[in-house]
Amino acid sequence: MKAANLLSVWAVPVFISLVLIVGTIKQVPVFDEFLSGAGDGLSTCVKILPSLVALMTAVSMLRASGLLELLVKLIEPAANSLGIPPEIVPLAILRPVSGSGSLAMLENIFSVYGAESLIGRVASVLQSSTETTFYTITVYYGSVGVKRTRHTLASAAGGDLAGILLSSLTVKFLMA
């Protein structure tokens, strides 16, 4: 068995065993702590569920209304001139807004073009090198009550734009 396969098979059981052993040594009620953490996680899920439903509804409406296709048509000439495959423009537009929507878009790109194609590879790098900017700003700043985000949006959008441009350039460079 390869080392990577062996690691993937044994990583979780070894980690759980270590947690139980250390917890026993330190006399921590491990199961009670687990239940407490699970309860906290569940309450967090309940708190953010309305935001996630609203965001997924907005993304679905964006796609169903045809606005996404209109934005793609407007951006496509600039993308071509910058060397960005036009097939990933919808992903680039959707990624700052919705992680789940952009993941669905990535899966669609894989099913149409293949994961090993230039478009699939650029889409993979773009997905992993950009952030769900608007969601992150809303959740993190909203949770601590920040009203003025100052330069956050411009900086984050600049980072996303750099990720979009460099994902295409990097993949093309590495595939050459």
Query: Per-residue confidence of the chain (176 residues) as pLDDT tens digits?
Result: 577 788 888 989 999 999 999 999 999 998 899 899 888 888 877 776 776 677 778 777 877 898 888 988 999 999 989 889 989 998 998 888 878 778 888 999 999 999 999 999 999 999 998 888 887 887 777 667 677 888 988 999 899 999 999 999 999 999 87
Contact partners, residue 92, CB within 8 Å, separation at least 6? 75, 79, 84, 126, 130, 164
Q: How far apart are the first and last CA of the chain?
A: 33
**Can you tell me the distance from the alpha carbon of 87 to that of 76, in angstroms, rounded to the nearest whole number?**
9
**Quick one: CA torsion of 33, 36, 40, 41, rounded to 10 degrees?**
60
Widest pairwise Cα distance in the chain: 64
pTM of the predicted structure, to 2 decimals: 0.67
Q: Cα 132 to the chain's mean position, in Å?
A: 6
* Other CB atoms within 10 Å distance of the CB of residue 28: 13
Q: Give the model's pLDDT for residue 14.
A: 92
Q: Give the model's pLDDT for residue 143.
A: 65
HSE-CB at 132 with a 13 A cutoff on CA atoms is: 16
Distances (CA, A) of 50 to 41, 57, 98, 105, 147: 16, 10, 14, 22, 21
Q: At what angle do helices 30-65 and 3-25 cross, to 10 degrees?
A: 130
Q: Give the model's pLDDT for residue 24.
A: 92
**Can you tell me the distance from the alpha carbon of 170 to that of 176, in angstroms, rounded to the nearest whole number?**
10
